[in-house]
């Protein structure tokens, strides 16, 4: 029998969104300011559609303005850059999120760097990447790693200092910023990837193991140190024996729950926290752009 704590990201995210909603209420009332989030979706990838629909709904539930821009996959790079530019100049828009991946003929790098850094609520612009790497509090922090960090700090009672953290995956949107955040929290950080020699042995040393790979159930029980906190970022659709599809993470949950001290499920773990952090970042962005302090709520 396992006694791992199953971290309820869905409930945690609901609390974060409640706090964001209170902040928005205060901004509207005292500052006549309604934070606005613009989401740009290129193409018709069904998973992205669901993700965008959730975001739009939750943005509005928090009292913020939600703007949605759907474009055909054959949009030119220049047209997309022009759209981003117009959002940069729109005073009702405080946060801009361009859904990734983009079609191959468009440079993701160019599009991300075109977003005004102070509106970059994903935290993907090199300015924000640099601010995070240097440990500046002015960084706009990528939503998925931020959500993971919030759950970890809560589980460990505030401090992660001295813990051995292993991050599996080195993408610019999850693995690298996750490593940077954990380093800023004074963890001893190791990042492993597809070229790592003996990845299992590296993982077994972790007090904190974050999986962001995109390979269903890759992390097995014997990769995990007993009592470790395991955060599963992976979102993989797999087919079940009865022909249906379901969502699983990068961690083999049923096995790992028997050895871990804490674990996040998929769905209901990191995903909802990502959206909640996006909304929180939008409030932060709106306050900074209007040079006002962020409302403090309980
Ligand atoms: N829950 C959420 O909110 C979010 C979930 N996701 C999910 O997280 C997962 C990762 O996303 P993302 O970072 O964008 O993915 P990428 O594909 O950009 O990066 C995957 C990383 O995993 C590494 N990797 C791939 N195969 C192996 C392997 N066999 N052993 C070790 N490392 C490996 C790659 O290494 P290398 O660099 O050497 O190629 C790469 O660094 C996906 O399932 C994605 O859907 C993503 C964003 C948000
Ligand atoms: N610019 C950009 N920023 C991103 O943050 C970004 C992106 N592009 N491209 C795609 C990935 C993926 N991603 C997810 C966020 C939330 C859930 C989520 O809410 N998942 C829920 C529900 C999933 C379901 O049941 O369909 C859950 O895990 O419980 C999933 C995936 C953000 N990403
Ligand atoms: Mg990628």
Q: Which of 106, 109, 213, 271 for a ligand 2 pocket mutation test, highest count of atoms within 8 Å of Cβ? A: 271
40 vs 69: CA distance, rounded Å: 5
Q: What residue spans define the domains of the chain?
A: 33-116, 143-271
Which CATH number is 143-271 given?
Answer: 3.40.50.720
Tell me whether the omega of the peptide bond preceding residue 263 falls within 30 degrees of 0, making it cis. no
| Burial classification of residue 137, based on how many CB atoms lie within 10 Å of its CB (0-12 exposed, 13-18 middle, 19 or more buried) | exposed
pLDDT digits (tens, 9 = 90+) for 67-104: 999 999 999 999 999 999 999 999 999 999 999 999 99
- The answer on pLDDT for 1 being more than 70 is no
Residues 6+ positions from 155 with CB-CB distance below 8 Å = 5, 7, 229, 262
Domain 33-116 CATH assignment equals 3.40.50.10860? yes
- What's the pLDDT score for residue 96? 98
* pLDDT tens-digit map of 2-45: 789 999 999 999 999 999 999 999 999 999 999 999 999 998 77
pLDDT at 51: 80
**pLDDT > 70: percent of the chain:** 99
- What residues does ligand 2 touch, defined as CB less than 6 Å away? 50-51, 54, 97-100, 122, 143-144, 235, 247, 266-268, 271-272, 274-275
Percentage of the chain modeled with pLDDT above 90 = 94
* pLDDT value, residue 53: 84
Distance, in Å, from the CA atom of 119 to the CA atom of 246, rounded to the nearest integer, reads 34
Do the two domains 33-116 and 143-271 of this chain adopt the same fold?
yes
ipTM exceeding the 0.95 mark: yes
Q: For residues 48 and 103, give the distance between their C-alpha atoms in angstroms, rounded to a whole number.
A: 13
**Distance from the alpha carbon of residue 157 to the mean position of ligand 1, in angstroms:** 28
For the CA of 101, the nearest atom of ligand 2: 9
171 known ligand binder: yes
DSSP of 233-266, one letter per residue?
---EEEE-TTS-EEEE-SB-HHHHTTT-SEE--S
Cα separation of 72 and 46, whole Å? 14
Taking Cα atoms as reference points, which of 31, 19, 2, 11 lies closest to residue 288?
31
Residue 48: pLDDT band (50, 70, 90) is confident
Which residue's CA is the closest to the ligand 1 atom numbered 48? 144
Query: In the structure, what pLDDT confidence band is assigned to residue 49 with cuts at 50, 70 and 90?
Result: confident
What's the mean pLDDT when you consider all of the chain? Answer: 96
Asked whether the beta carbons of 6 and 270 are under 8 A apart, the reply is no
């Amino acid at each position: 029998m396992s006694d791992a704590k199953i971290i309820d990201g869905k409930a945690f995210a609901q609390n974060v969104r409640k706090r964001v909603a209170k902040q928005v209420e205060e901004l509207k009332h005292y500052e006549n300011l309604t934070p606005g989030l613009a989401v740009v979706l290129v193409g018709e990838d069904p998973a992205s559609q669901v993700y965008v629909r959730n975001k739009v709904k939750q943005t509005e539930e928090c009292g913020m303005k939600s703007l949605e821009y759907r474009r055909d996959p054959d949009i030119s790079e220049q047209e997309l850059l022009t759209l981003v530019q117009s959002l940069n100049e729109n005073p009702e828009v405080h946060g801009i999120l361009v859904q990734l991946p983009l079609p191959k003929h468009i440079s993701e790098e160019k599009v991300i760097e075109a977003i005004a850094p102070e509106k970059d609520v994903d935290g993907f612009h090199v300015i924000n990447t640099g601010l995070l790497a240097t440990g500046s509090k002015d960084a706009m922090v990528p939503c998925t790693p931020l959500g993971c960090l919030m759950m970890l700090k809560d589980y460990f009672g505030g401090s992660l200092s001295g813990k051995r953290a292993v991050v599996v995956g080195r993408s610019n949107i999850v693995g690298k910023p996750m490593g940077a955040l954990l380093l800023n929290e004074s963890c001893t950080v190791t990042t492993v990837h597809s070229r790592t020699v003996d990845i299992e042995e590296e993982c077994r040393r972790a007090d904190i193991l974050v999986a962001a790979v995109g390979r269903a159930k890759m992390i097995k029980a014997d990769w995990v140190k007993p009592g470790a906190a395991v955060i599963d970022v992976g979102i993989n659709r797999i087919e079940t024996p009865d022909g249906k599809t379901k969502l699983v993470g990068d961690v083999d949950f049923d096995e790992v729950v028997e050895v871990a001290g804490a674990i996040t499920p998929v769905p209901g773990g990191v995903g909802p926290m990502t959206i909640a952090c996006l909304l929180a970042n939008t409030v932060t962005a709106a306050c900074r752009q209007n040079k006002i302090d962020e409302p403090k709520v309980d």
